[in-house]
Amino acid sequence: MKVAIISDIHANLAALQAFPESYDELWVVGDLVNFGPNPGEVVDWVRRHAHCVVRGNHDHAVAYGTDPRCGPAYQKMAAETGEYSAVVLTSDQKEYLRLLPLTAERRLAGARFHLCHAIPSDPLSGYLDESDWTAEVLSTHVDNLVVGHTHEPYFRKIRTVGFLNPGSLAGLRVTSPQASYAIWEDGQFQLKRYSYPVEETIAAIETMPISRAVKHQLTKLIMTGDPTVEEHSNV
């Protein structure tokens, strides 16, 4: 059994269409929309291909018309692209986002998995420093906890529990424009990255009806990870 795990696609269709892996199951750990230029196409792709999807804070914000609770560096980008997403998404696509579960449990090959976008006690928007994760991880009573939200890929063991963040498929918050994801196969996690036609995403951003300042911020974020952003800002 081979599971591909992706998160934080953020409406980046070019990155999604370039996904290089075959898989038996595809899990999506939230934030299909906002920031990027193709929210509707991404929602439709995920609906066709994913076996398990949980709702992220940006999915929730667009579906329910609420604040995604981003960190200060992301608030203007989230506000303008959120308005854009709300206009271009159909009512059916918004309903799909609205009905996504906050958490999901999976069992494969005798291993138990808990999936949520942020943290188990606050699945949409919670954030913890690394030193505070132990209680959250152990509270799930599973073999593996899978989260997204921070865009920072990592895998570690906390006592007997595997703890995975696949990073952002949109490549946000990294220092080069590469998509990040994870594979679970034969009982092991592996973090991976790949290049995608980033120029297609940037060209599409240029056509979005948002301010020039936000277009510049988004392009900088995709290309460089924006080194001016504080390392632990919520996204």
What CATH number is attached to the domain comprising 174? 3.60.21.10
Please count the structural domains in the chain. Answer: 1
In a domain, 160, yes or no: yes
Q: 82: how many CB neighbours lie within 10 A of its CB?
A: 22
Contact between residue 7 and residue 29 where contact means Cβ atoms under 8 Å apart:
yes
Q: What is the pTM of this model?
A: 0.93
The radius of gyration of the chain from alpha carbons, rounded to an integer in Å, stands at 16
Task: Report if residue 233 sits inside a domain.
Answer: no
| Range(s) of the domain holding residue 198 | 2-224
- pLDDT, tens digit only, all 235 positions of the chain: 999 999 999 999 999 999 999 999 999 999 999 999 999 999 999 999 999 999 999 999 999 999 999 988 899 999 999 999 999 999 999 999 999 999 999 999 999 999 999 999 999 999 998 788 999 999 999 999 999 999 999 999 999 999 999 999 987 766 678 999 999 999 999 999 999 999 999 999 999 999 999 999 999 888 887 635 443 445 5
Is residue 204 in some structural domain? yes
